[in-house]
A and B are shown apart, each in its own frame.
Chain A
Amino acid sequence: MIATLANISVTGAQVIASSGGFLIEPSVGLMVWTLLVFGATMFLLSRLAFPRISEALGKRQKAIEDSIDTAERTRKEAEELLTEYRERLKEARAQADEIVHRARQAADAHEQEAKQRGQELLAEAAGRAERDIEAATERALSDIRREVADLTVLATEKVTKKVLTDADQRRLVEEALGELDFSSISAGPASN
């Protein structure tokens, strides 16, 4: 391989050295052609290619800058919206807490009121019941007194075999009633 490469380089050098003088001989005609062709190329490129490419790149750069600006603006707006939203959310939470607090207070007040009203109703009902019981007791006692009086008169008349006068009847009834103890009857409902 090395021998081959050496052979190649030697052969190449020999070839160029032997009859390759024209390779390094400048040609005026070719130089003139080069100037003309290069000049025409530069003219065409600078008129028809470079400005359009530059314009397109400029437009794109502007579009990118605009997009970046828009994105930045949108981001700021989004941040502002987010901040506003957070504030509103905070306010809404505070309002909700207040509403809940008020509702709780109202509920407590209502509960207290209901309890108080219940107690009042209860007390009223109890009083009314007591009064009814007392009235009923009074009525019962009157009935008992009347029955006792009648039974006493009847029993006395049967024992004595004579009709009692009004004064006797009254005296007997009073004595009988005086012997009866109504305190346990009249105190019964009251103690309940």
Chain B
Amino acid sequence: MSDAQAGGIGGVPPPDAAVKRPGPGAGDLKPPKKSIKKTLLLLVGVWIGGVILLYALFGSGGRNNSYQPQNEFKLDNWINAGVFSINKAVLYLFLAAIATCVSMIYVANRMQARPNKVQTAVEVLYQLMRDNITGGNLDEKMARRWFPFIGTLFLFIMFSNLVGYIPLPTNTEEKINIFGAHIPSFSLYAATANLSIPLVLALLVFGSYTFEGIRAKGPIGYLKGLIPSGVTGGMAVFIFFLEVLSNIMRLMSLSIRLFANILAGHLIILFMAGALAVILGVSALAWFTIPAGIALFAFEVGLVAALQAFIFATLTAIYLGGAVAEDH
């Protein structure tokens, strides 16, 4: 029926034309609740049905001891050059650095008075680094001096973490044969999932705040500043060693927190995405755990990657501020 027919002559509806009224929820973009419920039930049905079907078809093949999921994080040198050998972690370091520099410089060169979404996101990150992380923990002069370091730490760690959630063909241990070409299998890896990288960053932080503390108070003044005012005698010596230990613990906590979070995230995604099924030899288990894998992946990308960078950068700013503070 054409529009003219449907509308009647001259726009007057025909007498038998039923008046169309909007139904419940008309004009609302949200789909009806019934539809969501149906979709969810369907998905759950497919999920459970898939588990049953896969288990019925393939059953259990027994435990697979040859597959070592931790080897996903093993670093084999691709180019041997002594200290400067190139391996997967170095590649990810470079990828993180390139992603950080390219994205930030690209946006910085195209700053507009009326920002688009990407520029807005970068501005939000920049203001978070400048006003909250650095400005919130350091005085104006210190904040200006240390902002490039703290900002780079935040961005570098965040991009390292995010790049680690992009599946890349970097697993040289397991290869895929595509028309005779043996290419490395895709895997998730993050530079920060290797202890060396968070550790050296933590060492940089340790060195920075110690340097800043000594510059502000002098070597003796800085060491004396470790003891709270009013504490004397044996207790002062005890607290001094406790504070030295606390500084070393800072080093460990900074590095291990980042490393362990990212490694654990990657491992659990790996397990949920099929490693567990491979180890236990139960194919149906992969189908069973994949929803959890997807949820964890989203959680890691959406929250953990940025949160860990934020924690690392914030603690750096706090340590720097604490090192020059008058009273301990």
Contacts and interface: CB of A to CB of B under 8 A. Distances in A.
Interface residues of A, number: 43
Interface of B is mostly: helix
A30 B280 contact: no
B196 A41 contact: no
Contacts of A48: 101, 105, 108-109
Contacts of B127: 57
B226 interface: no
B149 A33 contact: no
Interface of A is mostly: helix
Contacts of B84: 29, 32-33
B313 interface: no
Contact of B280 (A11, A20, A45): A11
A159 interface: no
A28 B82 CA distance: 10
Interface string A21-32: 011111111111
Contacts of A34: 93, 191, 196-197, 200-201
B101 A45 contact: yes
A56 interface: yes
B14 interface: no
The size class of the interface chain B forms with chain A is 35 or more
Contact of A12 (B73, B94, B267): B267
A41 B148 contact: no
Residue from B97, B156, B204 whose CB has the most chain A CB atoms within 10 Å: B97
B101 A49 contact: yes
B104 interface: yes
A45 B150 CA distance: 11
Contacts of A27: 75, 89, 194, 196
B138 to A, nearest CB: 16
Contacts of A7: 276, 280
A118 to B, nearest CB: 70
Nearest to B279: A11
B271 A33 contact: no
Nearest to A44: B101
B90 A24 contact: no
Contacts of A114: none
A53 B70 contact: no
B152 interface: yes
Name the residue in B70, B93, B191, B276 with the highest tally of chain A Cβ atoms < 10 Å from its Cβ. B70
A38 B195 CA distance: 15
A15 interface: yes
A19 interface: yes
Interface in B40-81: 68-70, 73-75
B301 interface: no
Interface of B: 68-70, 73-75, 82-85, 87, 89-90, 93-94, 96-97, 100-101, 104-105, 107-109, 111-113, 122-123, 126-127, 130, 147-149, 151-152, 155-156, 191, 194-197, 199-201, 204, 263, 267-268, 271, 276, 279-280, 285, 288-289
Given A12-B267, A27-B194, A37-B97, 12 more contacts: A11-B276, A25-B195, A27-B75, A30-B90, A30-B194, A33-B93, A34-B200, A44-B105, A49-B105, A53-B107, A56-B112, A59-B113
